[in-house]
Chains A and B, each alone.
Chain A
Amino acid sequence: MILPPEFQDWFVRQGWQPHPHQLALLAAEGDSLLIAPTGGGKTLAGFLPSLVDLARVGRSQDGYLENGKGARTGLHTLYVSPLKALTADIGRNLARPVAELGLEIRVEDRTGDTGQGQRRRQRVDPPEILLTTPESLALMLSYPEAPAIFGGLRRVVLDELHALAESKRGDQLMLGLARLRRLAPGLRVTGLSATVEDPQALAGFMAGAALVTVVEADPGPDPDIAMLPTAKPAPWSGGGGHYAIPEVLEAVKGARTTIIFINTRAQAELFFQALWAENDENLPIGLHHGSLAREQRARVEAAMAAGELRAVVATGSLDLGIDWGAVDLVIQVGAPKNVKRLVQRIGRANHRYNAPSRARIVPANRFEQIECVAALEAVRERDLDGDRRGPGPLDVLCQHIGLTACAAPFDADALFAEVVTAGPYRGLSRADFDACLDFAATGGYALRAYDRWQRLVLRAGLWQLRDPRAAKLLRMNVGTIVEAEMMKVRLRGRGGAPLGEVEEAFAASLTHGDSFLIGGRVVRMDAMREMVIEVTPDPTRQPKIAVYSGVKLAMSTQLSHRVLALIGDPARHGALPAQTREWLDLQAQVSALPEPGLLLSESFPHAGLWHFALYGFAGRNALQTLGLLLTREMEDEGLGPLGFLSTDYALLVWSLDAVRDPAPLLDRARLRAGLGDWLGENAVMKRTFRNVATVAGLTQRNMPGQRKTGRQATFSSDILYDTLRKYDPGHLMLRITAEEAGRGLVDFGRIEEMLDRSPRREHRMLERVSPMAAPLLLEVGRVPIRGEGRERLAQIEAEALMAEAGLEGIA
């Protein structure tokens, strides 16, 4: 297609010139994927082919749009976004061109917030353009009317595809897309994505084996990005970044609007508080993270949109979302852990195309200083990272099979043929598909069967629900987002305002009168009901700090390679701050520097115990797993391990006796053998199982009519995990759990990668703590209670340790 004259006129009236990538997308035949930075008119590019198409079709006597052959068009374009807020925003943005171009079409959204009446009407009389989320799409596809609603669909626009592809929501969406392609042959799909490391892989995710036109927009000028210079050097350990508060405030003053990204919610709370403690000019600064109540977040977003805030302290909760044109500075506090995410965050600044984004980075400690330098180099070289996506997870497929049966009886061969057209499931084996079908139908138990009470039964060659009432339960549990067990926090009194939520485990550690930080204020706990904590504001107290859910993001494989290469090459140390340079020099003298190809470890006595430090650079999840496995082996060898800690860079184990030869401990076969039995009991596996069991539908988040009976009726998924391990260890859910943990929280793959890339092993027996291990020791014994006293104590301890390592005077 080319841009019709009335559209050209419209662009001219706006004073715009269509971007080349907008025209390229319009011209593309078949599926297309647009990779463009924010502010590049990406959304309009996605909708332009639909609008041009809809402008060409005529209107029949009874008011319906029809194509040239006199058939009603009905639903023409489906837009899917990861955020409900985005669908509403897109709806508003589309209204203008639709009105100004005189297109008589309806644009409506359909999300979890859409009312029942509207939903019913949309099923009978869908709008021309429907804006929705992956979960709502899955729900719509589970209704018997799905073929009628989607039969005439021409186009699908998938927004923020890079973000969707990072989670199971993307897998579910791709299964839905495979269904749509079958219901509406000839469907054209357009993906919209921020900058990613491998556009072809994303295209394969979106389209499977089908051909995709990948359009890469001009990435614009290089970003203006650097470390934020600070008067005080970064501390040896810790993740707060508070030493840089004065400079951060200065930077905020010098910009119009700033987003300050912090990696975790707890750190965001603390940084926000510390910022306000020094905010003498009362600059309007807000706080935004995923554990704050929806009302609170909405208020901050509205204030941002209205230009009332000079800065907002945020976590990943603002990685996506509505474009705020006024943002002209991004500050990243703490190492970015991942180059791609850093680039995407930088892109949140300055949404005017062809103007450079401005960003400053604040490393939280010495190790992170090296990581930030390495990340900046990667950004300049446009060398993005990203861990390869695994195959489509089977728990999502289990859910999909159940929902398929809700829509209509199905043929297993036909469903398998459809599923393997979905990108993530290209390589799915028939055996795995059958295992998922068996799970959805019977529960898949080896020893006993629900012969009479199967969920799906085979009648006349078609699988269908035994009891149609089960459809309600399946639909109530659509989706792949599994929340941690959280407790709501609200102000005391009738109808007290909701403040947010905290993890249940944290709530359990609170007693009456304890105080903690939430939403930037200190509150005192007054009462705990079943799922609600009632609090009173109490700014005079020193808070405990809320421990939020969310696994800490591990440093990407590629970035850790860059960090290792930088440390191992003294010729490149000139790029590092002076104190960091001296630190590494001393390490080289006293022990050795880790470098690519070399796995360095050290044993040294400290405080009456032996310590074993392994500089694995494999990310915190993998090193945590290695810690669990190594301490078990040390136990077997009688070394008396007492504990360990892991960071992204290193593992530190303390024990009664010294590790003198780590080689047998690091034997791959031994480590792998330990995975099965040792980790099986681990909380990490139970947490992973909970997610898998919920997504697959073994346990249910929502039960009809069971809201009130509460906990008495429901029980923890840990019980199911233990039961399956004991009575049915080969069960599909346990297999999926092991695979998922192996990629995610357990990350054994990266332990193997570390062993593979390190043919040389070097173990140093030292007489005292090495310079590189010293900051690790400071992490020892850290408890989640932070206050001035603790900070001072940490300072004193830090100085003593540094002196012991011969480092005094460097800071």
Chain B
Amino acid sequence: MNGYGFDFHGLRFEARASGALWWPEGAALIVADLHLGKSERMARRGGPLLPPYEGLATLERLAGEIAALDPQAVVSLGDGFDDMAATEALDPQVAGALRRLARGRDWIWIGGNHDPGAPAGLPGRAADSLPLGRVTLRHEAAEGPDVSGHFHPVVRLAGERRRAFLLGRDHLLLPAFGAYTGGLSHDDPALAALVPQGLAIACGARAIALPLGRRRRS
């Protein structure tokens, strides 16, 4: 296993090295900030013409997790799409891949700031938030305990920036799963306010936990 297991308010989770969160008891796979359609949106707005392959790359990694875990439910924790127009303009190949992945599973799109509504013509149902025991799944952290995305947290480890889960007393933050996503450092005031102390679980070849909020000794 290359994940990191932990308990959060009575729920057993595994932080996967890919950046996805696995809840074995309910066989649910939770991913945040897929940002599908990002390159298309940037081009539409006159920005750079990025390689239009990020949807394929993101879904290929997601397909790997689905093949490994065979979840009954997949939850997108908001900003699954880079904007609402992107849900309509989604590349047919990406849309096809989504349909194949969703077949036979409960697929839930939690609304984010980029994609507040339900995606038209795609599998799955929309929700503002989702209760999981005492915990709420939502896009942006609010009243805890909750599991959320939105901030794209990263940590520095061995001279590299890595995407990371942040695990605090009230909040569990997921890294962005989408291919073309930047990151916000864990010590940014916005993140330090949410998770002043706890653990960061860095993604990569394997999940690596490191303490947060205490000064690391050299």
Contact = CB atoms under 8 A, between A and B. Distances in A.
Interface stretch (B22-30, B66-74, B177-185, B205-213): B177-185
A710 interface: yes
A157 to B, nearest CB: 35
A712 interface: yes
Contact of A530 (B152, B159, B185): B185
B183 A445 contact: no
Interface string B109-152: 00000000000000000000000000000000000000000011
A658 interface: no
Interface stretch (B13-21, B42-50, B165-173): B42-50
Interface residues of A, number: 45
Given A455-B49, A699-B48, A719-B180, A509 B56 contact: no
Contacts of A720: 50-51, 180
A728 B53 contact: yes
A727 B183 contact: no
A710 B181 contact: no
A530 B47 contact: no
A453 B44 contact: yes
B182 to A, nearest CB: 4
A567 to B, nearest CB: 38
Contacts of A703: 47
Contacts of A723: 51, 53-54, 57, 179
Interface residues of B, number: 36
B217 interface: yes
B218 A443 contact: no
B46 A442 contact: no
Contact residues of A: prevailing secondary structure = loop
A707 to B, nearest CB: 14
B65 interface: no
A726 B46 CA distance: 25
A514 interface: yes
B53 A710 contact: no
Contacts of A443: 43, 49-52
B215 interface: yes
A320 interface: no
A710 B182 CA distance: 9
A442 B187 CA distance: 39
Contacts of B52: 443, 445, 448-450
A712 B151 contact: yes
A587 interface: no
Most chain B beta-carbon contacts within 10 A, residue among A445, A453, A466: A453
Given A512-B215, A713-B182, A447 B53 contact: yes
Contacts, number: 103
Nearest to B217: A511
Contacts of B159: 505, 508-509
A723 B53 CA distance: 7
Given A455-B46, A700-B48, A726-B57, A711 B182 contact: yes
Most chain A beta-carbon contacts within 10 A, residue among B50, B154, B181, B215: B50
B36 to A, nearest CB: 14
Interface string A704-744: 00000011111110011001101110010000000000000
B218 A712 contact: no
Contacts of A727: 51, 53, 56-57
Contacts of B156: 508
Contact of A514 (B43, B152, B154, B218): B218
Given A723-B54, A727-B51, A467 B218 contact: no
B49 A442 contact: yes
A437 to B, nearest CB: 13
A452 B86 CA distance: 13
B46 A473 contact: yes
B167 to A, nearest CB: 20
A455 B217 CA distance: 50
A70 interface: no
B7 interface: no
Contact residues of B: prevailing secondary structure = loop
Nearest to B52: A448
Nearest to A440: B49
Nearest to A441: B49
A513 interface: yes
B48 A728 contact: no
A727 B151 CA distance: 28
A731 B51 contact: yes
B24 to A, nearest CB: 30
A711 B184 contact: yes
B201 to A, nearest CB: 19
A104 to B, nearest CB: 45
Interface in B50-109: 50-54, 56-57, 91
A455 B51 CA distance: 14
Given A453-B40, A719-B179, A710 B184 contact: yes
A698 interface: yes
A616 interface: no
Contacts of B215: 511-512
Contacts of A467: 45-46
Contacts of B46: 455, 466-467, 469-470, 473
A709 to B, nearest CB: 9
A726 B44 CA distance: 24
Contacts of A697: 48
Interface string A463-488: 00011011001000000000000000
Interface string A416-457: 000000000000000000000000001101011110111100
A703 B188 CA distance: 21
Contacts of B48: 473, 697-700
Interface in A502-521: 505, 508-509, 511-514
Given A508-B156, A512-B215, A726-B57, A450 B49 contact: yes
Nearest to B43: A453
Contacts of B181: 715
Most chain B beta-carbon contacts within 10 A, residue among A450, A466, A528, A710: A450
Contacts of B185: 530, 711
A640 B116 CA distance: 56
Contacts of B43: 443, 450, 453, 455
Nearest to A468: B46
A716 B161 CA distance: 10
Given A473-B46, A513-B218, A530-B188, A712 B91 contact: no
Contacts of B187: 528
Contacts of A466: 46
A728 B51 contact: yes
Contact of B218 (A455, A511, A700, A719): A511
Contacts of A509: 159
Contacts of B50: 443, 698, 720
Contacts of B218: 511, 513-514
A450 B40 contact: yes
A723 B58 CA distance: 10
B204 to A, nearest CB: 13
B51 A712 contact: no
Contacts of A713: 182
Contacts of A450: 40, 43, 49, 52
> What 6 pairs between A and B have smallest CB-CB spacing?
A443-B49, A453-B43, A727-B53, A467-B46, A470-B46, A715-B182
26 contacts: A443-B43, A445-B51, A450-B43, A450-B52, A453-B49, A466-B46, A470-B47, A505-B159, A509-B159, A511-B216, A512-B216, A513-B218, A514-B218, A530-B188, A700-B47, A710-B184, A712-B184, A714-B182, A715-B182, A716-B182, A719-B180, A723-B51, A723-B54, A727-B51, A727-B56, A727-B57
Given A448-B53, A728-B51, A731-B51, 19 more contacts: A443-B49, A445-B53, A452-B44, A453-B40, A454-B49, A455-B46, A455-B49, A466-B46, A508-B161, A511-B217, A703-B47, A711-B183, A712-B183, A715-B182, A719-B179, A720-B180, A724-B53, A726-B57, A727-B53
Interface of B: 40, 43-54, 56-57, 91, 151-152, 154, 156, 159-161, 179-185, 187-188, 215-218
